[in-house]
Structure 1
C-alpha cells in the first residue's frame, strides 16, 4: 500500500503543478482584463476627434460667457430682479451639459407716480445694459425703459406747468383786485375834495361816508 501512496504522492505533486500554472494564468488573465477595462473606460476621451475637442472648448467658453452675462444683470438689477437666472443647455461631444443661453426676469412696470417712475426707468436701463455684451433683447428692454422715462418727464413737466399757471392766475387776480381798490380809494379822495371845495359837504355827508 505504501507504493500506492508513493504513486499517489507523485500524482498529487503533478496536480499541484497544474494548479500553480492555472492560477498564474488566471491572474494574468485578470490583470489583462482589468487593463482592458480601464482602457475601455478611458476610450471615449481618447476617441474624441480634434474637431470635437474644439467644439468642447467653444462650448466651455460659451457657458462661461452666458453665466457672466446673467450675473451682470443680477448684480445691477437689485430689487428689480424677479427670481434667479434660467439657462438653456446643450450636450457636448463629451456628454456634458453646457449653457448656451440664459434669461433673468425683471420688473419693468412704471412706478406709482411720474416722479418715482423716472429713477426706476433709469435703473431698468442700467440693468438691461449691465453686461459687456448686451443682447438685442437687452437693448430692446433698455429702449422701452427710455421711452417710459421720457413719458414720465413729460408728465412731471405738464404738472409743474399747470401748477405754475394756477399760481400765476391767482397772483394776477389778487393784483387786479388790489389795483381796483386803489383806484376806488383815489376816486373817493378826489370826490371828497371836490365836495369840500363846493361847500356842500354837510349835504353829502351821508354819501361821503360810503367812500371814506
Structure 2
C-alpha cells in the first residue's frame, strides 16, 4: 500500500488570495486630491503586507522542502521523490506551500525478516521531519503494526521449526535402537561361553538305596569319592544325606 505524507498548503494559499483581493480593491479606487493622502497610506500598508506574505511564503517553502526531503532521504527505495504544491507569490515567484512523499507500507511476501526491516525503515522515514504531521504519525503507526505482525510470524515459524527438529531427532534416536549387537561393539559385552555348555543336559538316576551308579557319563571330580559327589548334589538340592532307604527312584536333570 502506498501512503502519502502530506504538508498542508491551505493556510498559505488563503494568505495569498487575501492579499490579491486587497490589491485589486486598491487599484479600483478613484479618489480626488483630498482623499489621495489616505490612498497613499493604504498603499503603503498594502506594501508592508505584501512583504510579509512573501516572507512567510519563503519560510514555508524552505520548511516544506526540508520536510519532504527528510521523508525521501530516510525512506530510500520505499519512498518516492517529493512532489510539491506550488503557489505564486505577490512577487511573481513560485513557492512550495505543500508537498508529499509516497511511502510503500506493504509487507514483503513470504519474508517476515524483510518485512520487519522494511517496517523499521518506513517508520523512521515517517518520523524523519523535525515536526511530523498528523499524516506522518499515521504512517508511522501503520509501519509499527506491520513490524509487530512480522515479529509474531517469525516467532511462530521458529517455534514450529524447533518442534519439528526435536521430533525428527527423537524419531532418529528411536530408529537407531536395536537388540542386535553392533559389529563394532567389544566382545566383552557379549561374552562367549565355554564350548559344550549348551550340549544336551546330562541326566542321571539314582535310588535312595546304596550303592549308587551314574547313568549318562557324569564325570567324577578329581579327589572326590562317589559318596562325596552325591552329598554335594544333595546339598545343592536341599536334601538330607544319606537318605532313608525307602527304595524310591528319583530322576534329576542337571
- Please report how far the alpha carbon of residue 51 of structure 1 lies from its aligned counterpart in structure 2 after TM superposition: 3.1
Q: Does 1:132 align with 2:136?
A: no
More strand as a share of residues = 2
State how many pairs are aligned. Answer: 148
* CA pair 177-197 structure 1, distance change in 2 beyond 3 A: farther
* CA pair 79-165 structure 1, distance change in 2 beyond 3 A: same
Aligned counterparts, 1:32-47, within 5 A: none
Stretches of structure 2 lacking an aligned partner (at least 5 in a row): 1-42, 182-188, 202-254
Measured in 2, the distance between the counterparts of 1:71 and 1:118 equals 24
Secondary structure of the residue that 1:131 maps to in structure 2?
Answer: coil
Measured in 2, the distance between the counterparts of 1:127 and 1:120 equals 11
Structure number with higher relative contact order (C-alpha < 8 Å, ≥ 6 residues apart): 2
Match of 1:101?
A: 98
- Please report how far the alpha carbon of residue 60 of structure 1 lies from its aligned counterpart in structure 2 after TM superposition: 1.4
Secondary structure of the residue that 1:51 maps to in structure 2?
Answer: helix
Match of 1:120?
A: 118
**Normalising by the residue count of structure 1, what TM-score does the alignment of the two structures yield?**
0.58
- 1:7-45 per-residue CA deviation (whole Å, 9 max, x = no partner) reads xxxxxxxxxxxxxxxxxxxxxxxxxxxxxxxxxxxxxx9
**Normalising by the residue count of structure 2, what TM-score does the alignment of the two structures yield?**
0.50
Secondary structure of the residue that 1:48 maps to in structure 2?
Answer: helix
Match of 1:88?
A: 85
Aligned counterparts, 1:1-212, within 5 A: 48-82=46-80, 84-112=81-109, 113-177=111-175, 181=178
Aligned-pair RMSD on alpha carbons? 3.0
